[in-house]
Chain A
Amino acid sequence: MADKKKEFWRWREYNWRDESKDWKSADVITAGVDVGSVSSQAVIMLDGELFAYSNMRTGSDSPDSARKAMSWAMEDTGMTLDDVHYTVGTGYGRVNVPFADRAITEIACHARGGNTMYGPTVRTILDMGGQDCKAIHCDDRGKVSNFLMNDKCAAGTGRGMEVFADLLAVSIEDVGDLSLDVDEEPPPVSSTCVVFAKSEATSLLRNGWSTNRVLAAYCSAMASRVVSLLERIGVEKDFAITGGIAKNRGVVERLERELGLTSLKSKYDTQIAGALGAALFAKALEEKKRAKAV
C-alpha cells in the first residue's frame, strides 16, 4: 500500500483569543470575515479592539468556510453569531458570507486593516495573497487613494509558493529561511508563469542545483514580479506587506533589496489584515446605524 503523500504546501491553521477581555462587557461587538481563494480569516473586535481571530484554509464551499472560520474564532468564548452586532464580509468570497450585514472589497479592507496594523504613516500596502497580489496606496486614515490588483495568474502569489513547496518537498513554512541559505544569489526563474517556473525548476534540479538554490531562484522571481506590479503605481513610504507571503523572509528580504526600502513590521498576524479591516468597517457602520436610530 502506498504511503500517504506528505502535503508540504499545507500551512498551519490556528485561532487566537485575548483571554484578558470579557466580551459581555463590550458595547460594540463586530466581526470581519475574509473568505479568500486559499485561506479564510475571521476577526472579532470588542469596541474596536482585537478580541479573537481564526485563520484556516478555504474549502470548496465559501459560505461553509465563512461559518467555520467564524465559529473557530468564537470557540470557547460562549459567544454566538447573535451576539455580534455587525459583520462585514470581504475577500474573493465576500458575497457568500451568509451572516454578513455588508460586503466590502478586500482592497478597502486591507488598507483599513494595514492602517491599524502598521500605523497611520503607512502609505503603500502590498498584499500578497493566495491567488492574487494587490498594491494599495492609502491616506493616514486608511482610505484607498490608488490600487492595482493582479489576479490573472498565480505568479507572485501564495498558491505559486505552495506549488514550489510541494515540488521541492520543503515545508511551506521553511521555504523563506532555506532560500536565504545559499552562497551566492542565483538568477531568478521565470517570473511570468508558475507552470513555466515549475518546469524550469525541475530542469535546474536535474542539472545539479541544490533545493535551496532553486528556492532562492523562485523567491527572487516572485520578488521581481511583485516589484514590477508596485512600479506601476509607485512606492510611497512607509511601506508594508500583508498576506501569507509577508511571513516568507526569502521573498520579503529580496523585495526590500530590490526596492531599496525596509518594510514596516507589526505585532499583528499579517494574514488577518483584510478581516481586521472588515471588522473596523463593521464598527464604523454599526455606530452609524446607532446614530441614525437615535
Chain B
Amino acid sequence: MKANYGYMDGSGEYFITINTDPCTECTEHPCVAACPVGMLEIIVDDYDDEAAAVKEEHRKKLKYDCAPCKPVAGRSPLPCVTACPQDAISHSW
C-alpha cells in the first residue's frame, strides 16, 4: 500500500509517501532514528502489518517540519530517504 501523508494548499503539495509493502519486510526501521525531528513512527496498520508512518502531529505542517532538511541551496540527500534500506520513502516536493 502506498500511504501518502501530508496535504495540498494554496502554496503547493506536500506529501511523504511510504510504500508499506516493502516497509513491512524491514525489521530495523532505521528511518525512525534518521529523522532529525522525530517525524516517523512504527504503527500497526489496519491490516495488522507493522509499517512506518508520519506522526499525526506532523501531517499538516510537513512543509515547515521538513524544512531543516531542505535548504534552498546545497541540499543533501534526505536522511529518511537515505536511511530506508527498502527504498520505500519518497517526498513530493
Q: Which residues of A contact B (CB under 8 A)?
A: 104-105, 107-108, 143-153, 192-193, 228-229, 232-233, 281
Contact of A152 among B2, B4, B9, B92 (CB under 8 A): B9
In the complex formed, the residue of B with least CB distance to A109 is: B46
A93 to chain B, nearest CB (A): 14
Q: Which 5 A-B pairs have the closest CB atoms?
A: A108-B46, A152-B7, A192-B10, A148-B4, A146-B2
A142 to chain B, nearest CB (A): 11
A193: chain B residues at CB < 8 Å are: 10
Q: Does B60 contact A (CB under 8 A)?
A: yes
In the complex formed, the residue of B with least CB distance to A102 is: B46
Q: Does B64 contact A (CB under 8 A)?
A: no
Main secondary structure of the interface of A (DSSP, over half): mixed
B45 to chain A, nearest CB (A): 8
A134 to chain B, nearest CB (A): 10
B23 to chain A, nearest CB (A): 14
Which of B4, B13, B46, B60: most chain A CB closer than 10 A?
B46
- Tell me the count of chain B residues lying within 8 A, CB to CB, of chain A: 14
**Complex contact B2–A192 (CB within 8 A):** no
The residues in B between 1 and 24 inclusive whose CB is less than 8 angstroms from any CB of A are 1-4, 7-10, 13, 15
A281: chain B residues at CB < 8 Å are: 46
Main secondary structure of the interface of B (DSSP, over half): strand
A233: chain B residues at CB < 8 Å are: 2, 4
Q: Which residues of B contact A (CB under 8 A)?
A: 1-4, 7-10, 13, 15, 46-47, 60, 92
B13: chain A residues at CB < 8 Å are: 232
**Complex contact A145–B7 (CB within 8 A):** no
- Complexed CA–CA distance, A152 and B63 (Å): 13
Contact of B8 among A105, A146, A228 (CB under 8 A): A228
- Complexed CA–CA distance, A84 and B86 (Å): 42
B8: chain A residues at CB < 8 Å are: 150, 152, 228-229, 232
- Complexed CA–CA distance, A143 and B3 (Å): 13
A256 to chain B, nearest CB (A): 21
A-B contact pairs, 8 of them (CB 8 A): A105-B46, A145-B1, A146-B2, A146-B4, A147-B3, A148-B15, A152-B9, A152-B60
- Complexed CA–CA distance, A93 and B15 (Å): 24
**Complex contact A151–B7 (CB within 8 A):** yes
**Complex contact B46–A147 (CB within 8 A):** no
- Complexed CA–CA distance, A252 and B60 (Å): 27
**Complex contact A145–B46 (CB within 8 A):** no
A135 to chain B, nearest CB (A): 9
B64 to chain A, nearest CB (A): 12
- Complexed CA–CA distance, A151 and B8 (Å): 9
**Complex contact A147–B4 (CB within 8 A):** yes
**Complex contact A232–B15 (CB within 8 A):** yes
